[in-house]
Amino acid sequence: MPREIITLQVGQCGNQIGTEFWGRLIAEHGIGPDGIVKEFATEGTDRKDVFFYQADDQHYIPRALLIDLEPRVINSLQESEFKNLWNPENVYIDSQGGGAGNNWAVGYTHATEKYEHIMDMIDREDNSDSLEGFVLTHSIAGGTGSGFGSHMLEQLTDRYPKKIIQTYSVFPNDSERSSVVVHPYNSVLALKRLILNADAVVVIDNTSLHRIADERLQLDFASFKETNSIISTVMAASTTTLRYPGYMNNDLVGLIASLVPTPRAHFLMTSFTPLVIKGAQRRIQKTSVLDVMRRLLQPKNIMVSCGTKKGVYVSILDIIRGDVDPTDIHKSLQRIREKKIVNFIPWGPASIQVALSKQSPYANVPYRVSGCMMANHSNLGNLFARIIRTYDILRKRNAFLNVYKETPVFSENLDEFEDAKETITNLIEEYKAIQTSDYINWGMKQQQSQISQKESSSLANENGNGANNKPGKSAMAL
């Protein structure tokens, strides 16, 4: 039985990524832009019902909500070739249409005012036989994707505590190329919710996307459509085993469980090869399993700019698509082991997991074998440390804080900023500890420390001496 997934597209970036993603999915499942299955699509081994459901007239509708605070992007989608694909009841545009002004607090405040309406939309969509979870696409740099998305993560955790929440989160450039001057504030506030409320976060940063577009696709300056096409390629590839099931990783729980051995360190990096998008030069050579698996590990192909030469891998899952002999997988893994290409954690299994999936019979791809890597790596902590450094630069100058103070979230104080920073700092420390052989003991000590803090806080409240004391945010994450 399919395990259904509801996709939530929030903000400009989230909706643009989502549109590219659905374009890939309908192509891979032989569905037209109007939701009608094409006549040649007679293959019946795929699971369309994971991401789609059928209307009474038998056309397929994405299990998706399209949400934005300004109308431009969604209006353009409703005028595109996909205008008849979406369920119009699953579209939310703020009536005032003013957007969030690249302000996390404005997006978050809008969500607090409209969350019952959004939750009603989700509850209506949750008429599936076996809902497994949610996939959120958004950016953490702007206002709607970060702020509105943050509140949605909190509400989903509260309303659906047993469902999986996975996100594809776009991180801002680490250079002056970012057009949002307050992105460090927005990123820190959104990242706190990704730590506390998501089960798995696929991190894709704009710095690496532009590097890949430049170096691998020979695009002098990639457009949003081209970078979003790269992201949608990874999204489609990473969900392959859910839609074209094989012997393992056939549901979201299994996929995430193999990659996230500890609850808090649930951030993932990805790579894909060979990468082909419309408008870019094709430089496809003969692909083999070994070549694909080697390329997936090369830092230049990884879509997070934190490097992998130092640090250790916590886990790796390679999803290999195409006409592949399992013995080639075994030989390739052996070659990679012999050459010691990968450094794993000292306290867990040192092996690359591989899931095989067949290519879609309807997608016309110019290669025989392709691969998508999803990996958990200790150097992701460096990415978060970089965000904290850029945040500190603004915060020490108290720059641009007035626009945040004008919102209900920050009307009384700015504690939420420091709260978010503390949550991220604790995660950075955990990623450092992950590299050591004593990590298991470190985790137990941390957990015991949080329990002690919680008990002390409760005792203070009982004695009337600390009514406003709360357990640390790191305790909430455990």
How many angstroms separate the CA atoms of 105 and 103, rounded? Answer: 5
> With left for phi above 0 and alpha for psi between -120 and 50, is residue 11 left, alpha or beta?
left
* Burial tier of 442 (Cβ tally within 10 Å: 0-12, 13-18, 19+): middle
How many angstroms separate the CA atoms of 239 and 143, rounded? Answer: 28
Q: 144 a known binding residue?
A: yes
H-helix or E-strand spanning residue 67: strand 64-68
Q: Number of C-alpha atoms within 13 angstroms, CB side, residue 398?
A: 3
Structure tokens at 60: 């397929």
Q: 311 a known binding residue?
A: no
* Burial tier of 361 (Cβ tally within 10 Å: 0-12, 13-18, 19+): middle
Q: Compute CA distances 449 → 197, 391, 442, 453, 475, whole Å.
A: 21, 28, 11, 6, 9
Structure tokens at 366: 């110019």
Report H helices in 29-145: 72-78, 104-125
How many angstroms separate the CA atoms of 478 and 465, rounded? Answer: 26
Q: 472 a known binding residue?
A: no
Kindly give, in sequence order, each residue whose CB lies less than 8 Å from that of residue 114, ignoring residues fewer than 6 positions away: 92, 94
Q: Are 354 and 320 in contact (CB under 8 A)?
A: yes
Kindly give, in sequence order, each residue whose CB lies less than 8 Å from that of residue 347, ignoring residues fewer than 6 positions away: 436, 437, 439, 440
How many angstroms separate the CA atoms of 4 and 129, rounded? Answer: 8
How many angstroms separate the CA atoms of 94 and 109, rounded? Answer: 12
Q: 141 a known binding residue?
A: yes
Give the angle subtended at the CA of 261 by the CAs of 436 and 259, to the nearest 5°: 110
3-state class of 169 per DSSP? strand
Question: 63: closest CA among 135, 159, 118, 155?
Answer: 135
Question: 13: closest CA among 82, 66, 61?
Answer: 66
Q: 147 a known binding residue?
A: yes
Q: 35 a known binding residue?
A: no
Q: 149 a known binding residue?
A: no
Whose tokens are 């209307």? That residue is 55
Q: Cα dihedral sign for 158, 162, 163, 165?
A: positive
Which amino acids are annotated as binding site for GTP, given as ranges? Answer: 141-147
Q: Annotated binding site, which residues?
A: 141-147
